[in-house]
Chain A
Amino acid sequence: MKRRLLLLMAPLLMAQSGAKPVLVPDVSQRNIEIVYSFTGAELLLFGAILYPGGRLPKGEAPTDIVVVVKGPTQSILVREKEKVAGIWVNAARLRYRSAPSFYAVASSRPIERIVDERTRAIYELGLGSLQLSPASSATSDVERRFQAGLVDLKRRAGLYVEAPGAVEITDGVLYRGRVSIPARVPVGRFTAETFLIRDGRVLAAAVRDIDIRKSGFERFVARAADRSSVLYGLVAVALSVALGWIAGQVARRRA
Chain B
Amino acid sequence: MDLYLPIANLSVNALVIVGLGLGVGLLSGMFGVGGGFLTTPLLIVYGIPPTVAAASSASQVTGASVSGVFAHIRRGGVDFKMGGVLVAGGIIGSLFGAWLFRLLQELGQIDTVIAVVYVVMLGSIGGMMAREASGAILQRHRGLPPKPRKRRHHPLVAALPLRTRFYASGLYISPLAPLLLGFATGILTILLGIGGGFILVPAMIYLLGMATSVVVGTSLFQTLFVTAAATMVHATTTKAVDIVLAGLLLIGSVTGAQLGARFAGRVRPEYLRLALAIIVLLVGLRIFLGLVWRPEEIFSIELA
Contact = CB atoms under 8 A, between A and B. Distances in A.
Interface of A: 34-40, 74-81, 83, 86-90, 93, 95, 146, 149-150, 152-154, 183-187, 214, 217-219, 221-222, 225-226, 229-230, 232-237, 239-241, 243-248, 250-252, 255
21 contacts: A37-B3, A38-B11, A76-B302, A77-B301, A87-B112, A87-B291, A88-B292, A153-B299, A217-B6, A221-B7, A229-B239, A230-B232, A230-B236, A233-B235, A235-B243, A237-B231, A239-B59, A240-B60, A245-B67, A247-B255, A248-B254
B112 A146 contact: no
Contacts of B239: 225-226, 229
A232 B11 CA distance: 21
Contact of A234 (B232, B291, B300, B303): B232
B246 interface: yes
Contacts of A146: 299
A243 B250 CA distance: 7
B267 interface: no
B241 A233 contact: yes
B152 interface: no
Interface of B: 2-4, 6-7, 9-11, 47, 59-60, 62-67, 70-71, 108-109, 111-112, 116, 228, 231-232, 234-236, 239, 241, 243-244, 246-247, 250-251, 254-255, 257-258, 261-262, 291-295, 297-304
Given A39-B11, A214-B6, A233-B241, A76 B303 contact: yes
B59 to A, nearest CB: 5
Contacts of B65: 244
B303 A218 contact: no
A226 B62 CA distance: 22
Given A93-B108, A244-B67, A221 B302 contact: no
A237 B109 CA distance: 30
Contact of B11 (A152, A183, A221, A230): A183
Most buried by A among B6, B60, B241, B243: B6
A38 B4 contact: yes
B111 A90 contact: yes
Contact of A251 (B60, B63, B67, B302): B67
Given A240-B62, A245-B67, A248-B67, A74 B10 contact: no
Contacts of B116: 87
A246 B3 CA distance: 24
Contacts of B10: 183-184
A218 B4 contact: yes
Contact of A241 (B62, B244, B251): B62
